[in-house]
Amino acid sequence: MAEHYEFFVTCPRGMDNLLQTELESFGLDPYKTAPAGVWARGTLVQGYRACLWSRLANRVLLHLATVNADSNESLYQGVYDIPWESHLAVTGKFRVMFTGTNELIRNTQYGTQKVKDAVVDRLRGQGTIRPSVDAKDPDITVSARVHRGELHVAIDLSGDSLHMRGYRTEKGIAPVRENLAAALLMRAGWPEIAADKGDFIDPMCGSGTLLIEAALMALDQAPGRLRRRFGFERWLGHQPELWLELRQEAERRAWEGRQGVLPRFTGYDQDSRVIATAWRNIARAGLEGIVHVEARAVEDFHRDGQWSETGLVLVNPPYGERLSERKQLGGLYQALGEAVREHLVGWRLGVFTGAPELGHAIGLRSHKQYRFFNGKIPAQLLLFEVNEANTVRPRDVAGHGDLRPKISHPERAQMLANRLKKNQKTLGQWARKQNIQCYRLYDADMPEFAIAIDIYGDRVHVQEYAAPRSVDEKSARERLAEALAVIPEALSVAPEHVVCKQRQRQTGKGQYEKQAATGEFMEVDELGSRLRVNLRDYLDTGLFLDHRPVRRWLRDHARNKRFLNLFCYTGAATVQAVAGGASRSLSLDMSKTYVEWARANLALNGANPDKHRVEQADCLKWLADKPTPDQRFDLIFMDPPTFSNSARMQGVLDIQRDHGRLIRQAMTRLTADGVLVFSNNFRRFRLDEDLSELFEVEDVTPSTLDRDFQRNPRIHQCWHIWHRA
C-alpha cells in the first residue's frame, strides 16, 4: 500500500472552495480549509499530480511536523528533531521560506534564522560538512509557517509558485495571474461550456492570460507541463519513476485534447503593442493556430459568422483610479454591453472588475457575483446571461462615455461638499498667505468619509483609509463613490485632476512597489524650492506634507552646516537644507527609486552633486559600521519607517524596539554642538527614557505641526537631541 502524506496546498484568497474540489479530482482527501489554502491527505503521486495539474494552487507543501513555537528552545528543538537527512544531503543547498509572526517571533527574518540553524545543526551532526543556504537555486525549499503557538514545517514541492506556468514572461497592463484567471473561468462555467463546443472571446484581452488559460483547460493540457523545474526534483524523497509516468500521461492527454473539433479562442485589444505581447505568450504556450488575437476596440466589435451559438465572453476591463477615468469607463462598460447584446445573444458574459458599480452600465441583470482579490485589490466577477429577459436600462449613464456613481445618500454627500468648501475657504486662504502650494484640506473630518484630501497646486490627491470593521465593503465603496462625485464641483477642479488611492500598511518590498506605471511627475513649490511629486504611481506622492515645518526648521538652521539625511526618501529635507546654505550633505536610502528621485530633486534646485551626495545604502548597516573621519555632521535628520523587513536590508527595522540604538549610533556622527532631529509617524511611539540620561532631549512636536495638520496631532512626533555639555 502506498504511503500517505499530509499536504497543505496554498491558493489566493477566496479560492479555497474551488481548490478543495480540484484536489478531490486528483484523488486527494481534503479535510480542512484555511483562508488561503486546503489541508489534504494522499499519496506522493497525488501530490505530484497536484503540482502538475492544479490550475488554482500557488504551492503544494509536504507537511513534515507541527512544532511548538512558544519558546526559542522548543522551536529549535522541534525543527532539529525532524530527520532532515532523509530530505537533504549534507552537501546540499536549501532555503527557508518563513511566514507569520507571534509573540516570540516578531519578524520573519528572526524565524528564518532559527529554522536555518536547526536544519544546519542537524545535518552537520551527520559529518564534518554542513549544508549551504542558497536562495536562488536550492535543492529543497523548507516552508515554515507560524500561527500563534505552532510552527508548521514542510517541504515545498512546487519550487516557484505554480501560477507561473512558463508561457508569460511579459506582462500587459494590470495582468491577471494565471491561477486567478483559471478560477474566473471555473466560476463562469467555462469547462461545461467548452464541453458543449462553445467558443471563447475576450474583447479586452491584454497579454492574453484569460485566453491561454481557457485554451489549456479546454484542450486538457496540464498547466505545469511547460515548467522547467519543480521543487521536489532534487529532494531525497523524490521518486522519479512516478513523476515520469505522470509526465507521459500529461503528454498523451495534451495530444488527445487537440483532436477533433476545437472551440474558437478569440481576443481583441485596442492597444496593438499589448497584442504583440499576447502573440508571444501564445507562441510560448504552444497555442499558435488555436488562439487568435488582433487589435480591435470594443466599439468595433462585430459577430463573426463562424462563432458558435453559445459561448463565454470573459473580460477584465480597466478599473479606473481617477474620477475622470471612472466616467470614461462607464462608456467602455456600456459599449461592451451593447456589443454582446447585439451580437452574442445566447452567450454568457463574465466581467471581472474592481469597480462593480460600473456593471450597471452593461445593461444586463447580473445573476451571480463572486468575490476575489486581484492582487491586493478587492474585485468581483459579475456573470450575465445575454438574452432579452435579462436586459435592463443602463443606469446613470448620461451619454456615451459618462457614468456617474449613484448617490444613494445625497444629504450625506452634500454635507461632505459643504465641509470641503468651508475648509477650502479657511485653509486655502491660510495657505495662500503662507505661500504654501501643497497642503492637507481634509483628514477624515467626518466619520462617514474616511479619506484624506491633499491639494497639490491644481491637483487633488484623495487617499481612502481602510474602512473599520463596523463598515462593510459595499458601504465603504458607496461612500467613496459619493465623495468622488462631489469633490470636483466642491473644490472647483477639473475631474481629470482628481486622483484616488487606497492606503494600506506596506512592509518589505511593498513599501517600494509601484501602484501604477504612468510616470506622471509634476513639479510643486515648497518654501521657494522645486520638488517633483507623483500622485499616481506610488503609495505616497514623494512629499510628506506633515513634515513641512520640520523642513522649514532645517532650512533655517542649515547655514554652513554639514547635513546628514538618513532614510532620506525623495530628499525633500536635503533640498531645504541646501537651500538654507548647508556646506555639504549626505543623503542615504536603500531604495534605488528614491535615491534617483532625490538626486533629481537636488539637480532641479541646482545643488552641486560633488558637495551634496545621495547614495543607496542600508541605513541600519551604515549606522552600525564604525564612522570614518569624514562622517561627522553638524545637523542630522532621521525619519525612519515604522517597520521594514525589506530583503535589501541587513536586518529588520521595528522603530519602537530599535530607535534607541539608531539614535545612539547617529549621535556618534554628530559634532559636539550639533543637533539630531528625530521624527517618526508611529502613533503609539514612546521615546526611550534612557536617552534623556545620555543626551539633551526636547520634544518639539507641537511646533512641527502646521495649521493643516493640527486636527491630527499624532500624524508624527519629533524631537531635537544634543550632546550633553
List for the chain the helix, strand, coil content (%; round to 5): 35, 25, 40
The angle that helices 178-187 and 16-25 make with each other, rounded to 10 degrees, is 90
Q: Does the structure show a pLDDT above 80 at 293?
A: yes
343 with 302: CB under 8 angstroms? yes
pLDDT in tens, 416-432: 999 999 999 999 999 99
| Cell 506596506 belongs to residue | 506
170 with 130: CB under 8 angstroms? no
For residue 203, give the nearest of 313, 292, 310, 288 by alpha carbon.
313
Q: pTM of the predicted model, to two decimals?
A: 0.61
Give the pLDDT score at 402: 40
Higher local confidence (pLDDT), 268 or 495: 268
Higher local confidence (pLDDT), 677 or 128: 677
466 with 504: CB under 8 angstroms? yes
Q: Does the structure show a pLDDT above 90 at 651?
A: no
Q: Does the structure show a pLDDT above 70 at 624?
A: yes
Give the pLDDT score at 320: 62
Q: Does the structure show a pLDDT above 60 at 136?
A: yes
Percent of the chain with pLDDT over 90: 67
**Total residues belonging to the chain:** 725
Secondary structure letter of residue 3 according to DSSP: P
> What whole-number distance in Å separates Cα of residue 49 and Cα of residue 267?
31
Q: Does the structure show a pLDDT above 60 at 65?
A: yes
Give the pLDDT score at 645: 64
**What does the pLDDT average to over 590-615?**
96
**What does the pLDDT average to over 294-307?**
84
- Which three-class secondary structure string do you get for 130-153? CCEECCCCCCEEEEEEEECCEEEE
* CA angle (106, 8, 96) in 5-degree steps: 45
> What whole-number distance in Å separates Cα of residue 576 and Cα of residue 568?
12
**What does the pLDDT average to over 120-134?**
84
Q: Does the structure show a pLDDT above 60 at 434?
A: yes
Q: Which of 488-492, 587-591, 668-672 has the lowest mean pLDDT?
A: 488-492
Number of H helices, E strands in the chain: 18, 30
**What does the pLDDT average to over 410-418?**
85
- Which three-class secondary structure string do you get for 518-555? CCCCEEEEECCEEEEECCCCCCCCCCCHHHHHHHHHHH
Cell numbers given for 681: 509617524
Q: Does the structure show a pLDDT above 60 at 398?
A: no
Domains present along the chain, CATH in parentheses: 4-156 (3.30.2130.30), 178-219+262-390 (3.40.50.150), 410-504 (3.30.750.80), 544-723 (3.40.50.150)
> What whole-number distance in Å separates Cα of residue 12 and Cα of residue 162?
11
208 with 282: CB under 8 angstroms? yes
Burial of residue 531 (CB within 10 Å: 0-12, 13-18, 19+) is: buried
pLDDT range class, residue 321, cuts 50, 70, 90: low
Cell numbers given for 1: 500500500
Would you call 253 helix, strand, or coil by DSSP?
helix
**What does the pLDDT average to over 273-280?**
92
pLDDT range class, residue 504, cuts 50, 70, 90: very low
Cell numbers given for 83: 530527520
| Cell 459595499 belongs to residue | 474
Q: Does the structure show a pLDDT above 90 at 515?
A: no
pLDDT in tens, 173-230: 557 899 999 999 999 999 999 999 999 999 999 999 999 999 999 999 999 999 989 9
CA distance from start to end of the chain: 80
Q: Does the structure show a pLDDT above 50 at 341?
A: yes
Using CA atoms, how far residue 30 sits from 24, 54, 55, 605, in Å, is 7, 14, 16, 62
Give the pLDDT score at 332: 87
Secondary structure letter of residue 11 according to DSSP: -
pLDDT in tens, 222-267: 999 999 899 999 999 999 999 999 999 999 999 999 998 899 999 9
Higher local confidence (pLDDT), 46 or 712: 46
**What does the pLDDT average to over 74-89?**
95
Q: Which residues contact 686 (CB under 8 A, 6 or more apart)?
A: 656
For residue 262, give the nearest of 311, 296, 210 by alpha carbon.
311
**What does the pLDDT average to over 93-100?**
92
Give the pLDDT score at 653: 84
Cell numbers given for 449: 468619509
The angle that helices 240-257 and 44-53 make with each other, rounded to 10 degrees, is 40
Give the pLDDT score at 517: 60
* CA angle (549, 551, 557) in 5-degree steps: 105
What does pLDDT average to over the chain? 89
Would you call 75 helix, strand, or coil by DSSP?
helix
